[in-house]
């Protein structure tokens, strides 16, 4: 599965790479990340390998990420080739509540800022960054639909929202004939699998491609922390955020350390880096459209790209599955075999037989019309 194999995102005709380049590390304003020359090298390496999908946000490194990305695209005249995904929601003006959130006023303000920093007149995928808990989905979807109609954005997405909110927003779009949601962006890795409960099937059934961030769990699965070498120490994003109260940033615990230990063992058996195995596992999970990989060093990105070069044997994949499987909770425990068997009378029942609707894969030999 080379990086220059492209698949459509959600229920659209937009073709994107299975690995997206994350640019939250473009800039050092947040205490980690890459200087401009290194960021440029990473962008060029990704593009030269065939990648076409780049993720950023107005928030990232206080705007530096978008600015540098726009600069790198312009330097190589790649605007028509690169699919830019950027996001809005976060506030950079303390004391001004309308300079953040997901209301119409902030969306229209934020999109103009992103267009200016990126040096472009349109954004391919514009994503609500985080649910603000107060703005009605109707207002969000109408505003984003207006932006599509104006030509300033091409497609829309949601990131870090409740499943019910994503479902409601997509239903509003369908009912009112607004531009539908093309993508969901959520955290997913061996260490964080909670989206399997709702979001994966939500995206599959409602036409939203699931993009996932942090496949290395903020560096926990990168190979930097190895149980065989004495445990947890070092510097980087995981260390910078260690004292943050939000549970999403608390990656170091007994459960996750068991996952790291098994990942280290499996990687050794495969002769691959821990990061490659972790990214490969994530890319090949059901319902995953694209995996965002970020790096602060060129060598890290080069290693991540190699995650597409191999397959994990079933026996090893099962070991990773078992050590990382989330604990079953209500009501999901009622959807497992025993209760379902009681519903279906012990008979084998399925949706459609295997191979009922094979996927479409076009192996193009030509290079286009000349």
Residues noted as catalytic: 60
Least Cα distance to 100 among 135, 92, 113, 57 occurs for: 92
User: What SS3 state is found at 26?
Assistant: strand
The CA distances from residue 265 to 193, 223, 259, 284, 324, in Å, are 20, 11, 10, 20, 14
CA pair distance 116, 120, nearest whole angstrom: 7
Q: Could you tell me the sign of the dihedral formed by the alpha carbons of 72, 75, 81, 84, in that order? A: positive
Burial class (CB within 10 angstroms; exposed 0-12, middle 13-18, buried 19+) of 240: middle
CB-based contact 27:75 (threshold 8 Å): no
Burial of 370 (0-12, 13-18, 19+ CB in 10 A): exposed
Going by DSSP bridges, is the β-strand pair 209-213/288-293 parallel, antiparallel, or unpaired?
parallel
H/E stretch holding 291 reads strand 288-293
Helix (H) or strand (E) holding 262: helix 254-270
Distance CA 41, CA 27 (A): 13
Asked if the bond preceding 331 is cis, omega within 30° of 0, the reply is yes
């Amino acid at each position: 599965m080379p990086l220059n194999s492209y698949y459509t995102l959600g229920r659209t005709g937009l073709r994107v790479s299975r690995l997206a380049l994350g640019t939250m590390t473009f800039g050092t304003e947040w205490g980690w990340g890459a200087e401009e020359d290194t960021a440029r090298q990473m962008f060029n390496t990704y593009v030269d390998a065939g990648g076409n999908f780049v993720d950023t946000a107005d928030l990232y490194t206080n705007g530096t990420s978008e600015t540098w990305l726009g600069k790198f695209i312009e330097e190589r005249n790649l605007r028509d080739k690169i699919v830019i995904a950027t996001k809005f929601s976060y506030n950079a003006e303390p004391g001004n509540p309308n300079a953040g959130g997901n209301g119409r006023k902030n969306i229209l303000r934020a999109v103009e800022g992103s267009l200016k920093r990126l040096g472009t007149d349109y954004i391919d995928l514009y994503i609500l960054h985080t649910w603000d808990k107060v703005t009605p989905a109707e207002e969000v979807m109408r505003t984003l639909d207006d932006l599509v109609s104006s030509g300033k954005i091409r497609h829309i997405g949601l990131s870090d929202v409740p499943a019910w909110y994503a479902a409601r927003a997509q239903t509003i779009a369908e009912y009112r004939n607004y531009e539908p949601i093309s993508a969901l962006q959520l955290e997913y890795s061996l260490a964080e699998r909670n989206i399997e409960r709702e979001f994966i099937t939500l995206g599959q059934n409602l036409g939203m491609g699931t993009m996932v961030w942090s496949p290395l769990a903020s560096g926990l699965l990168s190979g930097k922390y190895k149980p065989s070498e004495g445990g947890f120490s070092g510097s980087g994003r995981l260390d910078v955020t260690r004292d943050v109260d939000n549970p999403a940033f608390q990656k170091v615990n007994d459960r996750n350390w068991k996952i790291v230990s098994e990942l280290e063992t499996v990687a050794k058996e495969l002769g691959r880096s821990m990061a490659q195995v972790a990214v490969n596992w994530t890319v090949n999970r059901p319902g995953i459209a694209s995996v965002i990989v970020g790096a602060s060093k060129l060598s890290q990105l080069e290693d991540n790209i190699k995650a597409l070069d191999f397959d994990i044997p079933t026996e090893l994949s099962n070991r990773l599955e078992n050590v990382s499987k989330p604990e079953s909770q209500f009501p999901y425990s009622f959807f497992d075999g025993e209760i379902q068997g009681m519903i279906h009378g012990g008979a084998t029942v399925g949706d459609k037989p295997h191979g009922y609707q094979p996927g479409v894969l076009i192996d193009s030999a030509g290079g286009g019309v000349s």
